Amino acid sequence: MRDDYDYDDDLSYNDFDDEDEDDDFGVTFEEDLYLMIREKLRDTIQEFKASYPSLKKLESSVSAFRVNAKNTDDSKFYPLAAKLLSEHIKPLTDDSEEIQEIYDNMQKDIARFKNQRAHGYEGEFYLSA
């Protein structure tokens, strides 16, 4: 009966599903936090832009945002990028209460760059990832 047992087919370790573990491989806390902030902005804009037309202006502003900081390591680049993104959208806070609320909520996540144990904002008008 041992001849019926095919080790390669029955115990294939190549089929092990470790997608979740691979997602964080090589990603620093700063990069992960910055990407989460961008994702929250994107998701919030997509969710609410039909109800709040002012968010279309925010969407345009966020999609046009670029950072050029060559030769900067992750620990400095991503906090800088978040700060610059925040400064980039700050002028829009005068346009609507919704953008002001998103901006204020985003600041709670940005504070986490300095204190990793701080709780970021999780709520309705700045969606959690």
In a domain, 117, yes or no: yes
In a domain, 70, yes or no: yes
**What does the alpha-carbon distance between residue 109 and residue 120 come to, in Å, rounded to a whole number?**
4
pLDDT in tens, the chain (129 residues): 444 544 444 444 445 444 444 455 688 999 999 999 999 999 999 999 999 999 999 999 999 999 887 888 888 999 999 999 999 999 999 999 999 999 999 998 998 888 887 777 776 777 665
In a domain, 126, yes or no: yes
**Could you give the number of structural domains in the chain?**
1
The pLDDT score that the predictor gives to residue 32 is 92
In a domain, 16, yes or no: no
In a domain, 17, yes or no: no
The pLDDT score that the predictor gives to residue 118 is 72
DSSP-assigned states of every residue in 28-75: -HHHHHHHHHHHHHHHHHHHHTTT-THHHHHHHHHHH-----TT--HH
The pLDDT score that the predictor gives to residue 24 is 54
Tokens 């701080």 -> residue: 118
In a domain, 119, yes or no: yes
In a domain, 110, yes or no: yes
